């Protein structure tokens, strides 16, 4: 099942399988819709609250497909509080793999559920943005929404 919602970042496509959210994708501008799904309606509602500044955490069932390392990275991302950032190196240290900065960046880049799993909160050690699957403009807007200014 799918839903497409308007957001300040353009249209976001949500995918559900077996009553779990499986993907969030930035798709530009397509018509909005929502398949008949309670979970998708809840996801749209929670994202709408996030974009309006009224939600800081998400409470949705997620189904993640990836390697064990990717899943560990994505779980660590969910521990980064709203309005805060860490570096790729810090995430690697938290995972007990202090030299795995590039692997962490690769895993974060494959995050299937951005925003809800906040990979946008990870930046380079020098304070620059690093990468983001939705593009650096969207990453900058997400950080600004959370009150984080990046030069």
CA geometry: angle at 1 spanning 14 and 71, to 5°?
Answer: 55
pLDDT higher than threshold 90 for residue 16: yes
Cα separation of 22 and 1, whole Å?
Answer: 10
13-31: average pLDDT: 93
**Domains (range + CATH), the chain:** 2-51 (3.30.160), 68-145 (1.10.10.10)
What would the 3-class secondary structure string for 26-43 be? EEECCCCEECCCHHHHHH
Known catalytic residues are: 119
| Distance (Å, whole) CA 95 – CA 89 | 10
The model scores a pTM over 0.85 = yes
């Amino acid at each position: 099942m799918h839903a497409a919602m308007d957001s300040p970042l353009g249209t976001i496509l949500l995918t559900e399988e077996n009553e779990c959210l499986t993907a969030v994708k930035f798709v530009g501008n397509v018509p909005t819709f929502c398949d008949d799904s309670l979970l998708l309606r809840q996801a749209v509602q929670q994202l709408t609250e996030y974009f309006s500044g009224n939600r800081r955490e998400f409470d949705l069932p997620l189904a993640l497909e990836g390697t064990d390392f990717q899943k560990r990275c994505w779980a660590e991302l969910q521990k980064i509080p709203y309005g805060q950032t860490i570096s790729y190196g810090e995430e690697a240290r938290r995972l007990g793999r202090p030299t795995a900065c590039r692997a962490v960046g690769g895993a974060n880049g494959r995050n299937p559920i951005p925003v809800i799993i906040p990979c946008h909160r990870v930046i380079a050690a020098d304070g620059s943005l690093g990468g983001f699957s939705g593009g650096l403009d969207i990453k900058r807007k997400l950080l600004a929404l959370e009150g984080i200014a990046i030069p």
